[in-house]
Amino acid sequence: MSAEAEKIKCLIIGSGPAGYTAAIYAARAGMKPVMYMGLQPGGQLTITTEVDNYPGFPNGIKGPELMSDFYKQAHRFETDIRYGYVTAVDFTGPKHKVVVDETHTIMADAVIIATGASAKWLGLESEQRLNGFGVSACAVCDGFFYKGQDVAIVGGGDTAAEEATYLAKLCKKVYMLVRKDKLRASKAMQDRVKNTANIEMLLNHETIEIKGDKGVDGVLVKNSLTGETKTLSVTGFFVAIGHNPNTEVFKNWLELDEVGYIKNKPGSSKTNIEGVFVAGDAADKVYRQAVTAAGMGCMAALDAERYLAEKGIH
């Protein structure tokens, strides 16, 4: 650990749409923000190919390109953007202690957490290889590209049921692959799935392999009761088995829900610790969109600015 801690006014942890938007607002407000980009600089959008639903880009934009633009804008207002990963925090005092890469200690007046969440994956080699080329963890983001086509979605909870019915409005056919003998989704969501004519539910089915070279052209599934395998002809494969919020390092300090999402005070970005704010997918398990994360990033910067003004920190 470094001998002397670095003292800063505003620390932003994470570099997706929430973190960068917070940085833009904080920098323009003269808060001299320092941002640590974390393990996945740019967040989940850096592994997304086409982004068609972010406002202001009528022809769409590639995910990495959009995040590069976010970076440039935050950099233009002199955000101090650094590589590094937060390994420990101590939120006992009025100054918030944060350790980066186990060696560098920072004392921050305000902290904005924008560490996001990571989609859970099945762990197949083919899933990783075709990620962004027919394999997706977000039906709302990518469903549009499969209009009139046949797709498969894996999962049995509310998110999977909701995404399956969303895809059913766009796609010709939706195969819903459920590992167990029934859906875990709520009764209302189950009824919606059952009443949607173009959803075919395959219970007791496991995904063995996603087929395709430069894109998805099928999925090999196995009936766990009979051992029978078959290939479904699909061009898109959606994974909806949940997300893990990247909040482990904060669990002893911040109020988290049962899954690990940081609880924020309704209508604000405030956490249970004064001077610590949260934005984006680290708190949001409902919408999980780039545009909502950016909006929360704006809220966090404004909340942090007001907090520093109230404390007389200039």
pLDDT digits (tens, 9 = 90+) for 256-279: 999 999 999 999 999 999 999 999
Report in angstroms the alpha-carbon separations of 24 from 35, 91, 157, 309.
11, 25, 37, 18
Can you name the residues that pair with 233 across neighbouring β-strands? Answer: none
Closest CA to 144 of 261, 60, 265, 30: 60
Q: Which alpha helices (H) appear in the chain, and where do they start and end? A: 17-28, 63-76, 125-129, 139-142, 158-170, 187-194, 290-310
pLDDT at 3: 57
- In this predicted structure, the answer to whether residue 1 has a pLDDT above a threshold of 60 is no
- In this predicted structure, the answer to whether residue 23 has a pLDDT above a threshold of 90 is yes
pLDDT digits (tens, 9 = 90+) for 128-180: 999 989 999 989 889 999 999 999 999 999 889 999 999 999 999 999 999 99
Label residues 269-291 b or e (16+ Cβ within 10 Å = b): bbbebebbbbbbbbbbbeebbbe
pLDDT at 257: 96
Beta carbons within 10 angstroms of residue 194's beta carbon: 12
Q: What residue type is assigned to position 287 of the chain? A: Y
Identify the active-site residue in 109, 138, 150, 171: 138
Identify the active-site residue in 10, 109, 141, 303: 141
Between the CA atoms of 10, 295, 237 and 188, what dihedral angle is there, to the nearest 10 degrees?
120
Domains and CATH numbers, the chain: 6-118+243-310 (3.50.50.60), 121-239 (3.50.50.60)
pLDDT at 311: 94
Closest CA to 43 of 167, 185, 141: 141
- The pair of three-digit structure tokens given for residue 140, joined into one six-digit string: 């709302």
Q: Verify whether residue 138 is a known catalytic residue.
A: yes
Mean pLDDT of 71-92: 97
Report the chain's mean pLDDT, rounded to a whole number: 94
pLDDT at 2: 43
Which one is predicted more confidently, 50 or 130?
Answer: 130
Q: Verify whether residue 181 is a known catalytic residue.
A: no
Q: What is the length of the chain? A: 314
Q: Map 83-142 to HEC letters.
A: CCCEEEEECCCCCEEEEECCCEEEEEEEEEECCCEEECCCCCHHHHHCECCCEECCHHHH
Identify the active-site residue in 10, 109, 142, 281: 142
pLDDT at 218: 97
Mean pLDDT of 103-114: 97
